[in-house]
Each structure stands twice: as C-alpha cells, then as structure tokens.
Amino acid sequence: MKRLMYLLPMGLLLLLGLFLLIGLGLNPRLVPSPLVNQPAPGFELPALEEPERMVGSADFEGEVVLFNIWASWCVSCRHEHQLLVRMADRYGIPIYGLNYKDERRDGLEYLRAFGNPYVWNAHDLEGRVGIDWGVYGTPETFVIDGEGRIRYKHVGPLTWDKVQDDILPLVERLRSETL
C-alpha cells in the first residue's frame, strides 16, 4: 500500500509530462477553421481609403482572391506586408484587405508608409466582420475561390515558403478550375 502511494504521484507526473511534450510538438499556426470549404461570410463596410464607398464580399465574386486581415498596430503585419506587395505585383493575385480594429488615419498612414497591395480595404473599426470570419488575431489570410468559398486559412504572418508551397499552387489550381 505504501508503494502505491509513491507510484501514483509518479505516474501522474509522467502523464502530465507526456501531455506537455505532445503539446510542445504541435504547430500553433495550425488552427482548424470551420469556415474552410464553406461560403465566405457576407459583409459590407466603408472602404478605408474612401469612407463614402461601401465594399464587401460581393466584390470577390467570380475570381480567386486573397483576403488579408491586418492592422497598423500589428507588428506581424509589418513583417508580411512586403510579401503581399510582392505577390500582388509579381503574380497579379487580387488581394483584398480588412483593416481590423484600427483607427482610419493609422491605417491610411500605414499604407502610405509601406505600400498598398490591396484592391481595397474594408474598415472594420468595431471588429464585427472579423468575428464573423473567425479571426483570432492579425494577420490572417484567406484564399477564396471563384464561387465565394473559403478554401484556405493561414493564421499569422505569411512567409515566402508558405506562399510558394501552399498558396500559389492553390491559387493556380483554383484559377484553372474557374476557367
């Protein structure tokens, strides 16, 4: 009986250590999204650049696009921004933006300072559209097919490897399916 009292805590400690070891091996960027392969949530918001003009998910119809959620206060967004500029210039991928929980003037200054790869930016000051899209934080990027379905979601800043290995092949495949 005395032996069991020593072995039980040791066994529980080993089990806890096993769970921690497994958890450390998981990729925090792999956040499952129930929206993948579902229609993109509809929205309409004022454009960041022209607040009198309304923009929204209806603008995505019929083409394969990237939808990028970003903010001027987001350090990771700054890391991926030049990659978005490069993708828009080099590959002609239409990129639409959602300026998330950001002051209009700060978002505009960010685009002036770093360049604007976006077709347009919707201004989501309250963050309500971000909630509908299941946004955990910024940046997040979605690939949307020509039928308006979310086909891919990436949480965190994009890397060139991720773009080359996952996003560009998917965009090309979806474009060929749309033709």
Indicate the SS3 state at residue 154.
Answer: strand
- Whether 90 is in a domain gets the answer yes
Residue showing tokens 């394969």: 64
Give the per-residue pLDDT at 138. 95
Give the per-residue pLDDT at 14. 72
Weakest-pLDDT range from 25-29, 73-77, 113-117, 174-178: 25-29
| pTM of structure | 0.81
Task: Please report, for residues 20, 94, 124, the alpha-carbon distance to residue 154 in angstroms, rounded to integers and kept in the order given.
Answer: 25, 17, 19
Cα–Cα distance measured from residue 171 to residue 152, given in angstroms and rounded to the nearest whole number: 10
- Confidence at 23, pLDDT banded by 50, 70, 90: low
Span 117-164, pLDDT tens digits: 999 999 999 999 999 999 988 999 999 999 999 999 999 999 999 999
Span 63-113, pLDDT tens digits: 999 999 999 999 999 999 999 999 999 998 999 999 999 999 999 999 999
Q: Which amino acid is present at 80?
A: E
CATH number for the domain spanning 168: value is 3.40.30.10
- Whether 18 is in a domain gets the answer no
- Whether 131 is in a domain gets the answer yes
Cα–Cα distance measured from residue 140 to residue 74, given in angstroms and rounded to the nearest whole number: 11
Structural domain harbouring 61: 28-178
- Whether 165 is in a domain gets the answer yes
Count of structural domains within the chain: 1
- Whether 124 is in a domain gets the answer yes
- Whether 13 is in a domain gets the answer no
- Chain Cα centroid distance, residue 29: 10
